């Protein structure tokens, strides 16, 4: 689709994107501080792409330290309309084998409230619809792209987002399974909420690295084992994004994501302060007038 701009957030194990061409690197300033990393901007084919790494250069930010608002604000200000979030996760079901990719459809939030999770505060109130936290159109395209790229990919399921940085207890892992969880990760919230507030189509490309600790026939999850699987998964994830770019060149979105922030706004425009207009300019398309 003309005007489609793809954003990619690289998760654990996905710290660079060598497939990008004509790359420029830019340090972005936002009202919420600095993003996790400089923004790498370039092209894959004819598709404009902006990339940042969620945990920072050298993987120095734990899941609760990630500046989620700064990351989403920077991508929105760069013109991103669709965002693929690459994330390493644990599998809670037998059929999602470590090394497989999965594009979830739902989220259960188990974070503890210490992460800033909204742009709408400080004199501006909005309540976005979040019943379906992922863009259905982008989800379907990511599934197709990962399949065409040769990965074993699963579509659907529920991602349980826990606080971290410690892995689950065995009791927690079995609780998440009893709830119908498919995956457990540490970064989908508030990232998905903020993307919806910013009017960005959002999908998670999850990379299963382990069976968490519920699987009695498997060893408990260790960093060493996770890192080994992550290396293989990162290659598959980048191949999926490259394939997705070829699809997006002619794609037209079939969703309401981009209209979400304006539809959710409760505070009348004439009651929004100049400071808030400046802070939320890229998010709501507000002017200083």
Return the active site residues. 210, 212
Nearest-angstrom CA–CA distance, 41 and 158: 31
Which pair of structure tokens corresponds to residue 198?
Answer: 């910013």
Nearest-angstrom CA–CA distance, 238 and 14: 8
Output the CA angle 32-38-39, nearest 5 degrees.
Answer: 95
DSSP 205-228: EEEEEE-TTT-TTSPPP-HHHHHH
Q: Determine the angle formed by the axes of helices 68-77 and 188-197, rounding to 10 degrees.
A: 40
Nearest-angstrom CA–CA distance, 192 and 165: 19
Q: Which of 51, 73, 62 is nearest to 118 (CA)?
A: 73
Kindly give, in sequence order, each residue whose CB lies less than 8 Å from that of residue 266, ignoring residues fewer than 6 positions away. 125, 126, 127
Residue 111: C-alpha distances to residues 106, 107, 114, 221, 277 (Å): 15, 11, 8, 20, 29
Alpha helices in the chain, H assignment, sequence order: 68-77, 136-148, 170-178, 188-197, 223-248, 260-264, 274-280
């Amino acid at each position: 689709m003309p005007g489609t701009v793809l954003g990619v957030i690289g998760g654990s194990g996905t710290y660079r994107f060598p497939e990008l061409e004509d790359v420029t690197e830019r340090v972005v300033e936002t009202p919420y501080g600095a993003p996790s990393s400089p923004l790498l901007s370039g092209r894959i084919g004819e598709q404009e792409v902006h990339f940042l790494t969620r945990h920072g250069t050298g993987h120095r930010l734990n899941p609760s330290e990630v500046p989620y608002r700064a990351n989403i604000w920077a991508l929105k200000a760069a013109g991103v309309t669709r965002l693929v979030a690459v994330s390493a996760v644990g599998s809670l079901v037998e059929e999602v084998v470590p090394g497989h990719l999965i594009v979830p459809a739902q989220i259960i939030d188990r974070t503890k409230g210490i992460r800033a999770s909204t742009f709408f505060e400080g004199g501006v109130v909005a309540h976005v619809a979040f019943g379906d936290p992922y863009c259905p159109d982008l989800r379907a395209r990511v599934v197709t792209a990962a399949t065409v790229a040769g990965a074993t990919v699963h579509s659907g399921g529920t991602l349980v987002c826990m606080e971290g940085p410690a892995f689950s207890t065995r009791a927690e892992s079995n609780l998440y399974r009893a709830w119908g969880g498919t995956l457990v990760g540490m970064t989908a919230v508030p990232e998905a909420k903020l993307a919806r507030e910013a009017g960005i189509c959002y999908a998670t490309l999850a990379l299963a690295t382990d069976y968490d600790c519920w699987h009695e026939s498997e060893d408990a999850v260790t960093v060493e084992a996770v890192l080994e699987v992550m290396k293989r998964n990162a290659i598959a994830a980048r191949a999926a994004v490259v394939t997705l770019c070829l699809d997006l060149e002619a794609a037209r979105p079939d969703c309401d994501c981009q209209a979400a922030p304006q539809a959710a706004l409760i505070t009348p425009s004439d009651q929004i302060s100049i400071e808030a207009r400046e802070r939320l300019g890229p998010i709501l398309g507000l002017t200083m007038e």
